[in-house]
Structure 1
Amino acid sequence: MNFLSPLHPPLQLCLSSTLGGGRMHLPKEGEIVIPEMGFQISSPSMEKKPWIFKTIVDERDGILGMSLNLGKEVKEVKSFVGGGNKRMAGSLAGFLVLILAISICEAASIFQPISDSHRSAALDLFKPADGSFGSLEETYEALRTFEILGINKKPDVSTATCGTVSKALGSSSSTPKDLFDALRVNSILKCNINAEVFEGIISRLQAAVSGASSLLDFYYSVGSLGLIKDQTSKADLHLSDAEGIFRSIKALSQSDGRWRYSSNNPESSTFAAGIALEALARVVSLASSEVDQSMIGTVKNDILKLFDSIEKYDDGAFYFDEKVVNVPEHPGPLATSSSVVRGLTAFTTVATGSLNLPVDKILGLAKFFLGIGIPGDAKDFFNQIDSLACLESNSVSIPLILSLPSTVVSLTKKENLMVKVNTVLGSKAPPLTVKLVRAYSTSSKDTSIIENKELSFDPERVVYFLDALPDSVDVGSYIFVFKVVLHDSEHKDVYVTGTLTHVQIFMTGLVKIGNAEIAVLDNDLGSIETQRKLDLAGENAVSLSANHLQKLRLSFQLTTPCGSAFKPHQAFLKLRHETKVEHVFLMRNSGKKFEITLDFLGLVEKLFYLSGKYDIQLTVGDAVMENSLLSDIGYVELDLPEAPEKAPRPPPQVVDPYSRYGPKAEISHIFRAPEKRPPQELSLTFSGLILLPFIGFLIGLLRLGVNLKNFPTSSVPAAFAILFHVGIAAVLLLYVLFWLKLDLFTTLKTLSFLGVFLMFVGHRILSHLASASSKLKSA
């Protein structure tokens, strides 16, 4: 099966559930073991080079292995299910779910700035329907997202949306929230709104501010006034009692930095804190004179207290979470963190003086939003992008993100290790230097291979790169520790880079495979009966034969480019019977040599006493091994004894779901040849004969002297007579339509209505004729 999902290193194992009855635990870094399911996962890079799962053996039940090759040229997953373990084979679907869960957790730990992937996702998530994105709130979120990402080829919804905006602003029934959403949309679309409309809204909003009692009332009304001031030339638009409104909003704050939605609601909320900070920022901007600095300082202290409750992930990401649960729509960490960041940015923009927030928490918030990846929900996507835009423009500290285009370096191709430093939205960073503090192998943390190396800068590609690696660097996993140093001292007060950044790098290369041989041994003496040399890098077609009293031995050596012995994550031998029953055996490592000896006398029961031809396949793979192999060596013809009466039977073969549920074979139906038709002249002759009765009918009418003397002359009877004949003509036309295209039920339904109509008009005209006839006789 193919596995083409893009995955990003390094992998963080953040699973804490059970799967298929197997309880997961972490015996050492980078491994998950699920004993009940009989397999083990090793988790190096999944980006460019092969990623091979480590396997374990259960001598009774067999094994389940997974070979995941994600090289540049080949992206493929191969699975190997052991012979006797039905439970393990049945858990393969759950195992694939585990892979997907790991890839999600792993992708969440990578901090990459916003890229073109987000722009493509934005166009997919925000798609207009009937010229609109939906409500005005959803429209603003879509337009604001496009604006931040700089998407020029966005859907044009200005015509329909401006009409909705004008209607909302001109309606006296619009709530402060409706006005707020409409004004936010208008701030982007710049719709043509009359000045008289704004004048009427201002008076309504000022009255709403005076009578506001809840935090949301203040937020929408004051926010709308601020938007009107930004969109019009009314520089004299102010709040009459700005300090009083400021105190009213501040009265809803709590000692821990959180806020209440109203004085009647005792619950405090982190999400509400962000709303309150935005509202206070608008009050300050609408004040006719400077707000008391003591109140500004009090709010700054509230912000510091709020940041004391911030939570942290192990990867350095910080986030806010909502503590209140008894709310109609409980906001998650993304929405809550986004609310706080928007409020913080808005308040620090209008407040004078500095705010001594820990810069590592600002950087941690950036990592949190970037670590989400690309959300699949439009609301979450907007919260992510809008929050990152706030962080990029905030007056506290602008985060700089160190990222790597690739965490896999090929020693064979002599690739350079490259590093990028950008803002969260991918903009260029100020002049700086990237230093490699140290680099060490994950297997030897105390020994550094590189220390205090300054990376070179490529202005064309805007990347920092390491010129060359030491010759002692071999294939394997390494930890590189980077440090970003700003050139200008002024930038140190504007940007935050963090202290040290640890990145796991995988050095890959070609592993030499040598001294490979396969042999059949006598069971008693161990002497070699048949021996063949193998070229595992090429093609092999070995044919062997053995009985249950003999052994099969396979051995080879693996050497790294630096000449060291190499131990791959995965090395096992598979025997596949001609009945498609498979058996997998783990290769053992003894020093520099990998060797396995299969004693067929002890394996007859596991082999289900099946004699015949067994294909031999060798799998060797590792994340850092560029030439991982899946080699068909040949086959061995086994002669095993007859199975006892109570011997285990081979497991039923798995039915290929594609053959069961896939498309069936196409049925080619050949219609019989049409019958030979008569000559055209004969057909025309019979058609003419069919018309003869009609011609005879017309002649009979003329012979009988048919006339229209009895046709009613007065208006009402004449109308009924005409309708009667029209009805007769309609019935005849219905017969023609039935012959051409109508079905029986439609014809009968229509005929029922025509029959009632004909009965009515026919009865009236016949009554008239009978009355006229009686009058004529009496006269």
Structure 2
Amino acid sequence: MAVRALGGFLVLLSVIAICEAASVFQPITDAHRSAALELFKPTDGSFGSLEEAYGALRSFEILGIDKKPDISSATCDSVLETLGSSSSSPKDLFHALRVNGILKCNVKEDAFESVVSRLKAAISSASSLLEFYYSIGSLELIKGQSSNVNVLLSDADGIFRSIKALSQSDGRWRYSSNNPESSTYAAGLALKTLAGVVSLASSEIDQSLIGTLKNDITKLFDSVEKYDDGAFYFEEKVVEAYEHHGPLATTSSVVRGFTAFADVTFGNIKLPGDKILGLAKFFLSIGIPGDTKGFFDQVDSLACLENNRVSIPLILSLPATVLSLSKKDQLKVKVSTVLGSNGPPLTVKLVRASSSGSKDSSVIESQELKFDKESASHSLDLPKSVDVGRYAFVFEVVLHDSEHEKVYATGGQTQVPVFITGIIKVDNAEIVVLDSDLGSVESQKKLDLAGENVVSLSANHRQKLRLYFQLTTPLGQVFKAHQAFLKLRHESKVEHIFVVGNSGKKFEILLDFLGLVEKFYYLSGSYDIQLTVGDAVMENSFLKAIGQIELDLPEAPEKAPRPPLQPVDPYSRYGPKAEISHIFRAPDKRPPKELSLAFLGLTFVPLLGFFIGLLRLGVNFKNFPSSAVPTTFAILFHVGIAAVLLLYVLFWLKLDLFTTLKVLGFLGAFLLFVGHRILSHLASTSNKLKSA
């Protein structure tokens, strides 16, 4: 029956976080492809430089993007121009040849021959690491693009020693003999350059030099930094460097260097597999970089790790979100390379699944996961002995193809916390009112916590209340819920919350009302009883009202504590108020319309009298000034008088007294000025006439 019950409950696998043993990282996805098309956008069919063009083309090539922008025509013109120019530096030639390796521009053989002769001359006079890096890298590119040009180095052993002379005892490199500072970023460039020297050597290089360089790589990896999630990275130690490189660029340089050197040498470079896998985790953990240089470094480094001869990292992909599964469903686990392609033949093994948070922790036997070829994923059937609870699933990737040529880094075991949930059965639930003195049962009622029934009880301060119930898992085991609370709420909304204890086989709480009278503030009346039981693995967690109890408590003494003020409902304080209805009083009676019009006519009588007075005084324009300046002041004087009259009208219709006085003050000053000028002119004219 227990097995049948287990088949019916739901299983919830929640991969909430990753333990310190390892972290879950996802390989390159379609999100990177979309980001590449957004980041690498050409302008007028070309990029700003050949270096940017190569970053875009190489990223598109690694990610398998077919619908990429067409930049072949303009970019090839730039490539041909750079290779044909005698003033092009080794750095310019290097970037042009990298682009040509992808676009296959129509470069003539004589152009290659001219470039090779210039590069060999640059190598013979080179004194810095960057000069060697660009020159040798360019020759190595020409070797793969033209078979008719001699790019081999006759003095490869001497060149190798010249570059090796810049190395330091800790595995790092100097940029030149004049620069005492050593750099981790420069170490990656040096390893990439020495790999090119080996591939271009016309004769075999001294194997003791190769062995020494392998030891330098091991020393370089001794300085690798580590994050708590298992990711490894290289940090640039040079503080006063001409160009500072961050962890992404520095780690990318080292990865390109040691993978390139491993590809051209015999024998394996002894590097721990967990560090190789840690480097892959570092590149995957940074997400999608927001700049083109960082994006290219990330994608190109992952491509180098996926095809290196040291060890190829494999990524174990587990669900990163909460899954709700039935017993018939399966947990999908994928094992792939860092770029998302399917990994080699292997076995994903569930080493153990131990429950946590309980004394009786269990260990489940090892179980191999089933592999589905169609979905390229492994699936886990939960053992029937797995009950609800908190578990730690430990996954281990095991290679079973011993004859495979490639070496893989699987990272050992990956541990993830898992929650398996189900329906918890609630049994033997009872609520009892006991006599405080004798301990006899006053009333006892069964509770159906899965149903809708409620109980009604009564008690006084001399009695006790006891509640108990049992929780069992689908396999019949005792279940200890994380939370169990009993809440009593008075009709005045005062609440009291009590923790329901666990005695081992059952949950039980005993409330002695005699000792709780002060806690209850001596409030008699009806109390609602509410039970809350919950757990992260309990699918039927509940908050249920189980009934009411009528408490008869004694009267509160004078110095007894008062119940706290209940918080005001914010909705009632800030919510909409009741609508206010207002009725205006009836308007007063107004005079007849004819009377109002007659009064309006009377207001024009003073104005009419003003004009009659002007006619009686004999107003004429004979004395109006004829010269320009006096005429202007005369006009302004009359305009000012008209403005004062208009102000009186506006005061009558609209303006208040204060505004009218302010404007009248400005107009008065104006009239005083222009009036004085025009009157002075008239007086002067009158005096001249009298004297004449």
TM-score (norm 1): 0.58
Within the candidate set 382, 387, 391, 2:305 is matched to 391
Instruction: Report SS of the residue matched to 1:399.
Output: strand
Within the candidate set 589, 593, 608, 2:507 is matched to 593
**Cα pair distance change 1:356/1:512, threshold 3 Å:** same
- CA displacement at 1:464 relative to structure 2: 3.3
Equivalent in the alignment of 2:408: 495
Within the candidate set 217, 231, 252, 2:131 is matched to 217
Q: Which moved more, 1:397-406 or 1:549-558?
A: 549-558
Segments of structure 2 that go 5 or more residues without pairing to the other structure are 1-10, 576-692
Deviation string 1:567-606 (CA, Å, 9 cap, x unpaired) is: 344555789999999998765444332659698855579x
Within the candidate set 314, 322, 332, 1:400 is matched to 314
- In 2, the alpha carbon distance for the partners of 1:518 and 1:279 equals 82
Deviation string 1:33-82 (CA, Å, 9 cap, x unpaired) is: xxxxxxxxxxxxxxx9497xxxxxxxxxxxxxxxxxx9xxxxxxxxxxxx
Q: Given that residues 540 and 632 in structure 1 are in contact (C-alpha distance below 8 angstroms), is that contact kept between their aligned partners in structure 2?
A: no
Q: Does 1:416 align with 2:330?
A: yes
Equivalent in the alignment of 1:354: 268
**Cα pair distance change 1:295/1:649, threshold 3 Å:** same
Tell me which amino acid in the other structure corresponds to 1:461. Answer: S
Segments of structure 1 that go 5 or more residues without pairing to the other structure are 1-47, 52-69, 71-101, 660-779
Equivalent in the alignment of 1:260: 174
Deviation string 1:499-549 (CA, Å, 9 cap, x unpaired) is: 444444432322234566789999999999999977666778999999999
Q: Does 1:431 align with 2:352?
A: no
Equivalent in the alignment of 2:419: 506
- In 2, the alpha carbon distance for the partners of 1:129 and 1:548 equals 86
- In 2, the alpha carbon distance for the partners of 1:277 and 1:499 equals 29
Instruction: Report SS of the residue matched to 2:392.
Output: strand
Equivalent in the alignment of 2:248: 334
Within the candidate set 145, 162, 165, 2:59 is matched to 145
- CA displacement at 1:163 relative to structure 2: 4.9
Deviation string 1:314-347 (CA, Å, 9 cap, x unpaired) is: 5544333333333355434333322211111111
- CA displacement at 1:203 relative to structure 2: 4.4
Within the candidate set 469, 472, 475, 1:559 is matched to 472
Query: Any residues of structure 2 matched to 1:336-735 within 5 Å, and which?
Result: 336-375=250-289, 378-405=292-319, 412-443=326-357, 449-467=363-381, 469-470=383-384, 472-491=385-404, 494-514=407-427, 557-571=470-484, 588-591=501-504, 592-593=506-507, 620-629=533-542
Instruction: Report SS of the residue matched to 2:101.
Output: helix
Task: Identify the structure with bigger relative contact order (alpha carbons < 8 Å, sequence gap 6+).
Answer: 2
- In 1, the alpha carbon distance for the partners of 2:412 and 2:485 equals 44
Within the candidate set 191, 194, 211, 1:277 is matched to 191
- In 2, the alpha carbon distance for the partners of 1:320 and 1:357 equals 15
Equivalent in the alignment of 2:213: 299
Query: Any residues of structure 2 matched to 1:104-119 within 5 Å, and which?
Result: 109-119=23-33
Tell me which amino acid in the other structure corresponds to 1:331. Answer: H
Q: Which moved more, 1:406-415 or 1:367-376?
A: 406-415
Q: Given that residues 174 and 180 in structure 2 are in contact (C-alpha distance below 8 angstroms), is that contact kept between their aligned partners in structure 1?
A: yes
Instruction: Report SS of the residue matched to 2:27.
Output: coil
Tell me which amino acid in the other structure corresponds to 2:389. Answer: G
**Cα pair distance change 1:546/1:455, threshold 3 Å:** same
- CA displacement at 1:278 relative to structure 2: 0.6
- In 2, the alpha carbon distance for the partners of 1:601 and 1:377 equals 68
Q: Given that residues 518 and 560 in structure 2 are in contact (C-alpha distance below 8 angstroms), is that contact kept between their aligned partners in structure 1?
A: no
- In 2, the alpha carbon distance for the partners of 1:628 and 1:50 equals 17
- In 1, the alpha carbon distance for the partners of 2:571 and 2:78 equals 58
- In 2, the alpha carbon distance for the partners of 1:129 and 1:541 equals 74
Q: Paired residues, what number?
A: 558
Deviation string 1:713-748 (CA, Å, 9 cap, x unpaired) is: xxxxxxxxxxxxxxxxxxxxxxxxxxxxxxxxxxxx
- In 2, the alpha carbon distance for the partners of 1:431 and 1:505 equals 27
- In 1, the alpha carbon distance for the partners of 2:497 and 2:44 equals 58
User: Based on CA coordinates, which of the two structures has the bigger radius of gyration?
Assistant: 2
Equivalent in the alignment of 1:309: 223
- CA displacement at 1:350 relative to structure 2: 1.3
Q: Does 1:319 align with 2:244?
A: no
Q: Given that residues 409 and 505 in structure 1 are in contact (C-alpha distance below 8 angstroms), is that contact kept between their aligned partners in structure 2?
A: no
Instruction: Report SS of the residue matched to 1:474.
Output: coil
TM-score (norm 2): 0.65
Q: Does 1:244 align with 2:158?
A: yes
Instruction: Report SS of the residue matched to 1:491.
Output: coil
**Cα pair distance change 1:526/1:189, threshold 3 Å:** farther
**Cα pair distance change 1:339/1:617, threshold 3 Å:** farther
- In 2, the alpha carbon distance for the partners of 1:504 and 1:304 equals 35
Query: Any residues of structure 2 matched to 1:201-212 within 5 Å, and which?
Result: 201-212=115-126
Question: What is the RMSD computed on CA atoms of the aligned residues?
Answer: 5.0
Query: Any residues of structure 2 matched to 1:18-97 within 5 Å, and which?
Result: 49=12
Q: Given that residues 317 and 334 in structure 2 are in contact (C-alpha distance below 8 angstroms), is that contact kept between their aligned partners in structure 1?
A: yes
Q: Given that residues 410 and 507 in structure 1 are in contact (C-alpha distance below 8 angstroms), is that contact kept between their aligned partners in structure 2?
A: no
Q: Percent identity between the aligned chains? A: 69
Instruction: Report SS of the residue matched to 1:451.
Output: coil
- CA displacement at 1:173 relative to structure 2: 5.9
**Cα pair distance change 1:307/1:646, threshold 3 Å:** same
Tell me which amino acid in the other structure corresponds to 2:338. Answer: V
Equivalent in the alignment of 2:103: 189
- In 1, the alpha carbon distance for the partners of 2:120 and 2:512 equals 88
- In 1, the alpha carbon distance for the partners of 2:46 and 2:565 equals 65
Deviation string 1:78-101 (CA, Å, 9 cap, x unpaired) is: xxxxxxxxxxxxxxxxxxxxxxxx
- CA displacement at 1:396 relative to structure 2: 1.8
